[in-house]
């Protein structure tokens, strides 16, 4: 993990000093779910999107013909929600009873992305795409129950050092956004889709894949040197 951060820091420092263009910060929300392959439909649990935080720092390094090298270092919360709901009949009225398991895993990510921009000095539209590599730093599972009111049952840490867990998450990213000039920099906003290529489970005997997928919406500011 330290080696990953060091490589990214050296990359951004070298390119920023060489080309001296823009650096910035982005903050947003990540709505994440998982895709489960290898289980029958009867055994596959129903999952739902879980909202989490995403944010980080980046550099914009113009190349040619509207292309921009856009390396990022991000903190992203990924996870999913598993729900079970039923009704308990009291004769006259049915009382809804439910339970849910909220899984959250925090990732430190680096993403050497590319942007293609079109516009003028005041406003630009862009598309963005590229890979990202994340490392799971920690995670929790929180059980909730619903009996008229929602309440927490327990919260426990996820043992990411377990041999069955793959902490690395290689993913592809694609999105679009826009920016407007603001002072010595620009304000921007974009929407992205992220699709994981690696499974969160490493046990080959089970032949089950758990892969992240999510939609991110973020905004931020970039300062021009």
Angular region, 178: left φ>0, alpha ψ -120 to 50, beta rest: beta
Identify which has the larger pLDDT, 196 or 145: 196
DSSP-derived secondary structure letter, 46: P
Neighbours of 132 (CB within 10 A): 21
pTM of the model: 0.82
- pLDDT, tens digit (0-9, with 9 covering 90-100), for 138-165: 999 998 887 666 767 789 999 999 888 8
DSSP-derived secondary structure letter, 165: B
Range of the domain at 174: 2-224
Identify which has the larger pLDDT, 122 or 163: 122
User: What per-residue confidence (pLDDT) applies to 20?
Assistant: 46
CATH number, domain with residue 124: 2.40.160.20
Chain centre to alpha carbon of residue 138: 14
Identify which has the larger pLDDT, 10 or 116: 116
Burial class (CB in 10 A: 0-12, 13-18, 19+), 222: buried
Least confident of 51-55, 91-95, 189-193: 91-95
Residue 19: pLDDT above 80?
A: no
Question: How many distinct structural domains can be found in the chain?
Answer: 1
Torsion of CA 104, 106, 112, 115, to 10 degrees: 50
């Amino acid at each position: 993990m330290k080696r990953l951060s060091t490589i990214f820091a050296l990359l951004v420092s070298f390119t920023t000093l060489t080309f001296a263009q823009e650096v910035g910060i982005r903050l947003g929300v990540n709505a994440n779910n998982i895709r489960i392959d290898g289980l029958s439909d009867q055994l596959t649990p129903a999952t739902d999107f879980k909202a989490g935080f995403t944010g980080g720092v980046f550099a914009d390094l113009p190349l040619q013909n509207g292309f921009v090298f856009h390396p990022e270092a991000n903190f992203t919360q990924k996870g999913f929600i598993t729900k079970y709901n039923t009704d308990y009949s009291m004769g006259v009225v049915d009382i809804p009873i439910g339970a849910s398991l909220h899984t959250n895993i925090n990732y430190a990510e680096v993403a050497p992305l590319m942007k293609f921009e079109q516009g003028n000095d005041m406003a630009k539209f862009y598309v963005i795409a590229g890979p990202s590599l994340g490392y799971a730093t920690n995670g929790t599972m929180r059980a909730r129950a619903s009996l008229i009111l929602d309440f927490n049952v327990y919260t426990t840490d996820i043992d990411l050092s377990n041999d069955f867990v793959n902490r690395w998450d290689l993913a592809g990213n694609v999105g679009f956004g826009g920016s407007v000039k603001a002072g010595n920099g620009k304000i921007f906003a974009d929407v992205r889709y992220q699709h994981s290529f690696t499974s969160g489970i490493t046990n080959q005997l089970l032949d089950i894949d758990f892969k992240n997928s999510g939609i991110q919406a973020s905004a931020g500011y970039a300062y021009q040197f």
